[in-house]
Structure 1
Amino acid sequence: MSVEAISSTLTMLERMHKSLLELAFKKTEIIKSGDIEALDQLLKDEQAHVAAIDKLEQQRQKQVTDYLEAKGLASSDKTTVADVIEAAEQQADKATLSAVRERLMQIINDLRKQNDLNQKLVFQSLQIVNLTLDAVRPRTEQMNYSSNEVRGTNTIAKKSYFDSQA
């Protein structure tokens, strides 16, 4: 396994994450506008991106593991590109991998921030919906008047025109 193959996979991961970040920015605008159908379609697009990223990530892990094993280094369960950078012999390979890794890490960090913003916006939207529903929905105290009236026993003494003692 070569460093070029790992670099190529990282570049593809970078492109996919950039595309996912663009979707996250679109999602922010859709959430602000409240377009549920567009949000639903965007979520489907996101799921497709995540599936592709997962596939590329599995490929990257296999490439990194194969590279480290070819170098005679014991691979742990969590092999990283940083391990490959350390094991790479040529300075150009180290520089290439470091540059791609840094760009990918920056995009992932930006994506994390944007997703946090989207999560907060969705939470605020749900709070507004719940407040609106609470304002519109009648309260149970208003519907049931009082328990005595429902059972038919008023607290006011009933006056009878018929005197039973007579």
Structure 2
Amino acid sequence: MALKDMKSLLNELLHVHRELNSIAEQKTAILKTGDVKALDALMLKENEHVKTLMELEEVRNGTSTLTMSELIEQAVPSEKEQLEALQYELSKEYMLLKERNELNQQLIHQSLQFVNMSLNMFMPEPEKVTYSRPQAKEYAGAGSFSLFDSKA
């Protein structure tokens, strides 16, 4: 793959990562307010971007076996700076997205804990509904015996 095409592909990857970061920020705000319908709509939008990202990664992996560092090493000095800047921006966006997704995961976990706690308050555990003989407690301490004689 030509270096120009690779730079174009990396710029597209960068653009998609920035879009995903924007969606992740919106998702944080929605999770704080608890708007489920807005969250569903945003998740659909996010899934489209993730699909695009996966397609771009397939193209990148299918056309070049070089890593970003190897690509930078092979580039001429004027293009090295551009590639290094792209690498820095991509890694920065990736780390921001990772941190934002971890925060969103924590918010979802806390919401689920709150829902479970609320359900437990409204629906306490039921008492045992199975039958047990009242005399069974008296005989348990005296040792066990059987009404059926197995030696006979």
Confirm or deny a common fold (TM above 0.5): yes
Question: What one-letter code is carried by the residue in structure 1 that aligns with 2:59?
Answer: Q
2:109 pairs with one of 123, 147, 156: 123
1:91 pairs with one of 70, 77, 100: 77
Counterpart of 1:80 in structure 2 is: 67
Q: Tell me, what secondary structure is at the counterpart of 2:4?
A: helix
Counterpart of 2:27 in structure 1 is: 27
- Kept in 2, the 8 Å contact 1:11–1:100? The answer is yes
Question: What one-letter code is carried by the residue in structure 1 that aligns with 2:63?
Answer: Q
Question: What one-letter code is carried by the residue in structure 2 that aligns with 1:133?
Answer: L
Counterpart of 2:14 in structure 1 is: 14
Question: What one-letter code is carried by the residue in structure 1 that aligns with 2:5?
Answer: A
- Kept in 2, the 8 Å contact 1:14–1:104? The answer is yes
Aligned residues: CA RMSD: 1.9
Equivalent residue runs for 1:1-150 within 5 Å:
1-65=1-65, 79-88=66-75, 90-141=76-127, 144=129
CA apart distance, 1:94: 1.2
- Kept in 2, the 8 Å contact 1:24–1:115? The answer is yes
- Alignment partners' CA distance in 2, 1:139 and 1:13: 51
Question: What one-letter code is carried by the residue in structure 2 that aligns with 1:93?
Answer: E
CA apart distance, 1:147: 5.0
- Alignment partners' CA distance in 1, 2:60 and 2:91: 15
- Alignment partners' CA distance in 1, 2:68 and 2:2: 13
- Identical aligned residues as a percent: 36
TM (norm. structure 1) is: 0.75
Question: What one-letter code is carried by the residue in structure 2 that aligns with 1:85?
Answer: I
Runs (4+) of structure 1 exceeding 6 A deviation are: none
- Alignment partners' CA distance in 1, 2:50 and 2:26: 16
- Alignment partners' CA distance in 2, 1:64 and 1:4: 13
- Alignment partners' CA distance in 1, 2:14 and 2:39: 24
| Equivalences, count | 135
Unpaired runs of at least 5, structure 1? 66-78, 154-166
TM (norm. structure 2) is: 0.81
